[in-house]
Amino acid sequence: MATGFIYVVTTVTRNYAQRAFCSVPTELGDHLYFGPCKMWMRPRMKAGDFVFGVSPAGTSPRRIVFVGQIAECITFAEAYDRFPDLRGPEGPIHVRPINGVGGFPHSSYEHIPRAMHGPGWVADLAKPELDRFFVCRESRGWVGRWLGSSGPEIDGDILAFLNKCLAYGRGGRLGPNTGTLSRPIAYGKLRTGLHLETNTPEQLLEMCRARMASDGPNGGRDSALRSWRPQYDQGSWATKRSRACR
């Protein structure tokens, strides 16, 4: 049974764009790639699961900015070998494999200079079970694409679904989500460091599908996205490096 993971993509700007190519999820070709920074979410994700990204505080309205289904869970070493265009410092792969000494991760990796996480890379890969990089299934229409400002607005119906989901934090399972339209992912007064899980992700997928096919203010979203490619606020990833990636 597939699980749905829902979390806030903190790197999204006010216009629903990613800050730079190294911000995850990263769209390249027909796939989304990412290793989510929420370390307590990463080990729980598996092939077949769905992931829904929510725009952060400071965006109005809050939107679902991407939907993807995980095709593969691989190590960062495998990702480094298979996807050279995703290597840091411009891309989201922030470490490279080595034959090191000592305990993990120094036994297996070294940080790529100027790549994301910087001194925090050791904490990011503190345990072997955190060594997971995700490849989403090839895009099918809007699923598996960066949606940005064309993504479904979190309205009352979507919020009602989210509030049936379970909230998880650093300490594990907390309880039912208590979100609002302006803060759709929350647990009481706790509003950061959370993600939601649901065992019925298909329901949220269908809600998104209906909105992507609607004739509202962003009508024709699905058709428009077919010829659209993601833009990054800080220019071409091949020549620009974002402070957000360091």
Span 129-182, pLDDT tens digits: 999 999 999 998 999 999 999 999 999 999 999 999 999 998 899 999 999 999
Position 126 scores a pLDDT of 93
Backbone angles phi, psi at 85, to 5 degrees: -70, -10
Query: Would the pTM count as exceeding 0.85?
Result: yes
Mean pLDDT calculated for residue range 12-27:
94
Tokens linked to 237? 């990833």
Contact predicate 51/41, CB 8 Å: no
Span 188-234, pLDDT tens digits: 999 999 999 999 999 999 999 999 987 554 445 555 555 445 556 65
CB-based burial label for 205 (10 Å; 0-12, 13-18, 19+): middle
